Amino acid sequence: MEHRTDSFCANPVMRTQWYVVADATDVSDAPLGVTLLGERFVLWRGSNGDVAAAPDRCPHREAPLSEGRVADGCLVCPYHAWTFDGDGACVAVPSSGPGAPIPSAANLALAAVRERYGLVWLCPGTPAGEPPEIPQDRDPSFRRVTAGIETWHVSATRMVDNFCDVAHFPYVHAGTIGPDTDPVVAAVHVEALDADFTGYQYTVDVHDELGNDVRQRMSTAFHLPFVVRSNTQYESGPRTGHDRVLLLCATPVDDVTSLFTFVSWRNHDHDLSTDEFLAFDRAIGAEDQVMLERIAGVLPLDQSATVSVRADRLSVEWRRQFAALLAC
């Protein structure tokens, strides 16, 4: 059988998008190296506390800056200790002695960074927009918890396809959401739900982690390229009237390796520990990871290469828009 590859990482338009590369707490008093779209970057906090990002390659002899250290908000190369401030300016070349001129080519070219929702987002090129807006993040009645970064051996394209898919719930999530979930997926209407997300709304009866049968009003929606948001409003059960938001983020390390993280907001469960707060969604993520890591390669972007049915409407629309983005 023909094995298709649909490399997307090398497409220049991918460099105009935002990706989650770290949990904000991962960038503290040491440099952090990350790989995005096959390219290495170094992250550190400048003297004002803001995260800076640059290619992980010293302009002097290309040593990995992520192996160096941070001193007073400056990144210090491990090889000859050239030193760079939070704006990327080279401020010290020890071998030249104090006061000697520093060539302007010694400055680092910073990549665009945003710290949002407890996550560090990086855009390697000129940003085409901003990371997606989550209004609940500004609402003090919501508690926000980040899950930490994992590496999955699966293409980001397959992850988003999975995050848009509910038809696998009774099978892949038999151990969490439960095997009794109705396998029939209702016809859905996919539309722009707001300025940042395309998806659909639906009502579902589920068995929650507390053992209750609960009616939930939900929406599942994507933001190009690799972010999916799931909103839940409880319409029955002990959490009636409460809301939660789950932001699922996939980041292509390369075409077939990805970072996974999620952020959870709830206007309830304020008394839980962070582990308790995350436990159910973590378990769901682990079930998806096991399934997805069995599937090799990139999701074919040619829709005719795989068979889709009614329940796949959202993932088909994501794939259509993603393919259109790549064709820009």
Could you list the residues that contact Fe ion (CB under 5 A)? 288
Size of residue set near ligand FES by CB under 6 A: 8
Please identify, using beta-carbon distances, which residue of 77 and 177 lies nearer to ligand FES. 77
Helices (H), ranges, the chain:
156-163, 169-172, 274-292, 313-326
In contact, 252 and 9? CB cutoff 8 Å = yes
Identify the residue among 79, 87, 257, 297 touching ligand FES (CB under 6 A).
79
**Does residue 61 bind ligand FES (CB under 6 A)?**
yes
Non-local CB neighbours of 130 within 8 Å, separated by 6+ positions: 18, 114
Longest dimension (CA), the chain: 72
Question: 92: which 2 tokens?
Answer: 């010290």
Which of Fe ion, ligand FES, none interacts with 288 (beta carbon under 5 to 8 A by kind)? Fe ion
Q: Are 144 and 247 in contact (CB under 8 A)?
A: no
For the bound state, the minimum distance from the C-beta of residue 69 to ligand FES, rounded and expressed in Å, comes to: 12
Q: Does the protein bind ligand FES through residue 58 (CB under 6 A)?
A: yes
Among the listed residues 52, 74, 77, 253, the single contact to ligand FES using CB under 6 A: 77
Q: Where does this chain touch ligand FES (CB under 6 A) — which range of 54-62, 221-229, 308-316, 317-325?
A: 54-62
Closest CA to 44 of 120, 146, 132, 147: 120
**Across the chain, how many H-helices and E-strands are there?**
4, 18
277 near ligand FES, judged by CB under 6 A: no
Binding to ligand FES by residue 301, rule CB under 6 A?
A: no
Q: Which of 60, 215, 268, 282 binds ligand FES (CB under 6 A)?
A: 60
Percent of residues in the chain assigned helix, strand, coil, to nearest 5: 20, 30, 45
- Interface residues with ligand FES (CB under 6 A)? 58, 60-61, 63, 77, 79-80, 82
